[in-house]
Structure 1
């Protein structure tokens, strides 16, 4: 056959039945394949089900094991507590006080004989020994052999208790387990000796069997090889001291010992089969005086659970096989019908291959079967008909396609020119390399950036010219992989050298190019200049570790350095010291000469410290005017000398601003490590307290922390309160009280202040003044701020949901303004509780604002943008109150209660409050008077046109339930 262009087209030969291949219908192939798939699914489902049931079974057993462990520990603990109570009761038995004071064994024996029978039979006490303060035995009552190791161990315990006057309660397991208590005896505050009592744990094991319903045994490790022939001796060098159902369970244990040569395998539990029973064996070590001496072994019958698992798996498998058979029958019937029409189309397709298009179309049309819905076979028939029509037009299209190829070649030329122009204008280095890694082309941006022309780089090695210091064997290997096509892309960063001697940090992406000839490029390299990004990244990394004002380490980095120094000091046993100091009268300099003067002063101090300390010493600014110096490998005298040098250096400096000269001085606290603290918190606390001692000495002084002074008591107090605060956090013992604030003109109460309280373990309620200072010293203040914020907003939301439309004030600590987490938490809580921010105000004190005025102002502006308000508390106390009133975006000022409390009696306070109100109103602020404790004071502040009143006369602080009643939910 020839087309209109004279090109001859050959027909493809048709092979209807290739030699050696038998015909198999698709319905059989599909049915067999689906059978295998369904069978695999059934088997997989059975396997997964088995794994799930076994995992659930193991989880249940693990829960049981934890319960067993708690029960055993609880029973042993109760036994120890009962012994302790009996020991405390002994001096109060009839006649015992006098007998103990005489310190006469015969008198003690005579009196205690009357009580021994009751203790033995009623309380289960096995023995009682009385020892005098000289560790000599006065009297004893025994129902078993307690002469262990010639009484050496018991004598050691007695001597220890006599010296320390603290009881001990060891558990000793030899042939059996005895719970001892060795307790000091005190009569009328006088030490009269030691009592030793013991109870066997046999009752504990019986009680455990009653509670758990499982068999239990006591295993004691023996070193004596002569006992190995004993009937109760196991191959683990273990002697069976006690065992429930001993005749049966002894055989079980011997079998377990044969299966598991190492006893440690039973710590995680093991399962064995015994006479058609499945038993779970679990080993629990006892916390005895001699470690790893005694173990409890618990044997639980789990036969029913295991058989239930096996039955379930067989049922699942049976149901799966029945479903498989039914599905196969159904699939075979469906495919028999569906493939009948497909067979008609398949047998006429050879006509299409032979070019008999018209005959093919008539054959397909005659084989069409009328059916309601079209399917894929109908689509195939239609596609085959369309294909026959397309093949008839192929001859005409061949000539047309030839013309189109010529036009496309011209178009590709134009596209190539466009790409070349695009590469020249792209803001990236674009170059190509040949198979040997030599540069073939370079775009205009690359020439501009690297100062090389394309001609200067052509034929040069990419690695040698641009990044010589990166010519490592690994990089060469990866480039060879790209050239050969084993790797399609390679990314890396490198310092690229320019012709003018400068360097640029470039991120390179190399891509493999398919080549038609040896002259074609092998690699396309695209470089992005990231020099500026790297510079900014390095600066940000520096800012994360340094104080930008003084260039010293910030608190976070300083704490990391201190932790590393402490670790090295502990490892190599080198002493060291921590100097902690702040500048004297720094606030005065800020107030009188401005914050710019304060910043200049801080820079001067940092510069002088750098000139004073050693090269290995570490200096940091911890915040405000607080500085600290780590002095590694130094003793107390050396640390004192450094402190003197720092004070002397600061004493020679002065700062003159606006014709006002300021002298520089500091108070330095010195703490040694590890003597005064082996961790960061203890060491900083000791140095902080030493610094306050230096201030108390008159400032511009140093003070070395001492264990003998009252500072150690303050550390213990901090630790005491730290534990209380952490316990209250853990057990949710913090409570929120509300105190009403009345609108003076209308006498309505529509605002409340939220106050924090802590409930102690004894039920007493503690005010913030008792625990907030400790929280600030120990670093827990941020956690308290977060808790108060979340708890207060949640409680306010409940009050609002109950229908009470009031507003609230929440107090923030002085440390809230340097807490980066505060604002995100506030946004999250307002959103999650669906709260109107306008009903929430925050109270801050002048002291809090003074810590970091720019930071405080910035945070307040961000919070006000959310819709919340601010109250300035303790207004009028500081000298710079009016300055803060101008600088801080507050809505309400609260006049300090010290001016209000005696308002009716002091004309001076009356004048001062009038003046404060005039200034506040001049700034457009609302005014609140606190400590309103009488009707007379309320009348006076009403005449002064004060907006709000707060105090015990208005209402005392109380839980929210005393102010609001919600019939649907009685708790807020």
Structure 2
């Protein structure tokens, strides 16, 4: 078989060329790799064992060192206690109390001489000194060496003890170490001086060897300029040995350590040295807190030879055991792998025959490989699988020709798909271009050519960055683009202005994505641009509308009040006066009712132009809402304000408006209030001007009235009392009733729900709108009663309709005070339960003003009401940017677009852009939309295209009283 195999290999040079030039059998690779792994395991295990033994040894040495430190500290403490006891006994020695009371040197010396010698020999006392209460030395016993410890320092100790009458135990190490006790002398409870007793520390420290068994030495650091003594010294460390156990052996060990570790600080953590086949550990012991100068150090020498020998022996045994195991494992592995890998090698060398379609030869080669094993293993399975594979490959090769024809057909389909993708890029309403690694444009789609007016050929090879108009905010853009192209980041999103071929500028939102490159010619980045020009214009329009009235282009109420507040602050700061003129058009409701809202809008625009022409350039004009205007006159006098009012009235008298054959003249009543005389804040000043305007109306319309403080309270009270009585009378005689205005679902063209509008019947039969009595109700506190009445009546009506088998939804306006009414929620819950009405049929309308005073309280109440099943509508949506804040902060379901944007929608492109933007914002937040003031079919058609959900207005249906509404039958019940 081997002969045939090699013969086949020679005949097929292509097969031989597939083999590597250098061949190493799988068996040897497995053995080599296994040996390396086992060796690494043995080495790692030995190293870990050694490190663990060393760590255990170090921990034991640390514990032993702490024990040594405790023993030394105990010896020093015991010495100090003995000295304290001796010092306390001195006054009780025979004759010493009398000598100390006399406090004369001769008497003390004569008496204490009898005790000095016994104390020297029996107690080892080396120094005794007596001092008076005035810190004067009275008597002295001891060797001259004791003076080396410093008379001045000892005198300081004496002063301290005399002052505090408390003993101290200082430790002093200069030429030698001595333990001192400085104690007050008390005779019959009276302090008569101080005694200083000193004893050498050498004997106490050397007693450490008897306790621990380790050698110990006492080192004293030599001063730099001090003369060198003749004692034992270690010059490398700059120390003198004051005491040392086992002197000759220990001194040799210390010299060896000083040679290997010249830095004395190494001894703090301990060092190891070897001398004469013995291992020694040397480590410092602190003398404690009584050695502040650190001139003396204790050093302990411990023999650790036995421990080191044990660690080395254990480590060597582990290593040898591992190596023997490694050798045995390799031999066993070699025996196990030899036969199966030989069979596997035969299969491997036969496999190249398959590459040249020699299927029969391959199968005959395997079949002649020898006798099969009685028990199958993986090699037998591989052998059978290889034969099966040869049959499968032979079958597949026969199918290649057929598949080639099919592949050609598939290529045609892929070509069509490529054309489809190309067409898709061209018709996509976004700019799509690719850039190479250098940031140069490679491809541009058709929409991009149309938008920026450059052709793809004109831009190919030009840097993308040249298309943009870089401002200060985009100075880092080139670097960020380079990060995408160089694969440092995946995407980049930014906005930038692009300069078109006709020099026009368009605002584009760009999204750059990194592309996977297979060659240097492939694009590195895909750039997709969305034209945001119209969206930005709409944003600008929204920003403008936040401060302006869209009909007259004047400041709106919010911005006007801000200007007035700023003017009041300036007037207070610089002490000048000004005036506020409040205009209310006369008979404006009559013009709206007879000629329609378009006539009213035209009249408002005309009045705005005439007022602008009649005031100074420094004056500020605004429309506060409806038919109300106001003018701020800075730095003026009452006479000047009156003159401006007269000029405005004269200018307005010249204006005429003719609609459908009817001629209307502009006329207004003007209220004048001065600041700071009539008010130093916006609220008071507007209230004063408003009251003055009503005075002008009562005087005959078309005139002016200057507010006076005398009539302020009287007029306001008169108004409040008048309307309070009307409201209470209406409650008593049930003169409140509802109007209903239908709201259509635009998609279905069906009436979806009705807005409930409150009206009040006056004594003369006049129907009063809410704006006439609601302000008085809010000021007198009757607004809560009105809210409760509206809720009860509407819920009762809804329950009646529901019980008759019909469903209807009501939209009810809540006042701004409803969110501060603690009874609102209980009444609402109780009324729903009492009448059995469905809360999901009720929708409550709120305005920004209602939520503005206390947003957290409003949100909490709304969330609670929504748990009942009710829903909420945000009214006047879009008037200010705050609407966008509330749509996110409040749990509302529907937003009602303000009628000022809808009324002229069919004729005003700006309003169309704005309403579409408002709808997109609301839809993006998942809210439905309602458009009010829908008064024509053209407006309705535009709203349908913009996908507005609901429509309300005179074109849909006018408000009708309850007895004329679809619910009249239910009211009779």
TM range (shorter): 0.3 to 0.5
User: What is the TM-score with the length of structure 1 in the denominator?
Assistant: 0.45
Give the greater-gyration-radius structure (CA).
2
User: What is the TM-score with the length of structure 2 in the denominator?
Assistant: 0.45
